[in-house]
């Protein structure tokens, strides 16, 4: 679904790049660097929340009394925390599955007639 390790590595590289840019001219780039750090902090918080939700989802899925509604609720929260490009991939996949289901249902209805 998404790569937590890849996102974490990206955060580290982006932080290094931001600091390198800042270090070239600290006086003029202080505000820019502050915005970069705030963006990285937001992304890191989102990643930590994704990890927490994924852990909760896996723990609930392993439970012998897993509640489907609770599973779907956690999964929905997890998808809401995804960056837009990754959420878009899930949406496209869901649309493909829905289209395939509609085709199969139409074929089944045609066969029954």
Domain layout of the chain by residue ranges? 4-82
Q: What is the dihedral of CA 43, 52, 50, 77, to 10 degrees?
A: -120
Whole-number pLDDT of residue 6: 65
Residue 2 pLDDT exceeds 70: no
Two tokens at 76?
A: 């929905």
Residue 45 pLDDT exceeds 60: yes
Whole-number pLDDT of residue 81: 76
- 2/84 Cα distance (integer angstroms): 12
Q: pTM of the prediction?
A: 0.57
- 48/14 Cα distance (integer angstroms): 17
Residue 1 pLDDT exceeds 50: no
Residue 8 pLDDT exceeds 80: no
- 37/21 Cα distance (integer angstroms): 12
């Amino acid at each position: 679904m998404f790569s937590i390790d890849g996102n974490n590595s990206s955060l580290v590289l982006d932080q290094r790049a931001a600091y390198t840019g800042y270090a070239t001219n600290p006086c003029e780039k202080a505000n820019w660097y502050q915005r970069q750090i705030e963006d990285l902090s937001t992304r890191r918080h989102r990643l930590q929340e994704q990890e927490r939700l994924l852990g909760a989802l896996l723990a609930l899925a392993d439970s012998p009394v897993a509640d489907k509604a609770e599973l779907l609720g956690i999964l929905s929260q997890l998808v809401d925390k995804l960056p837009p490009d990754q959420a878009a991939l899930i949406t496209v996949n869901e649309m493909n599955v829905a289209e395939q289901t509609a085709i199969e249902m139409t074929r089944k209805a045609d066969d029954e007639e």
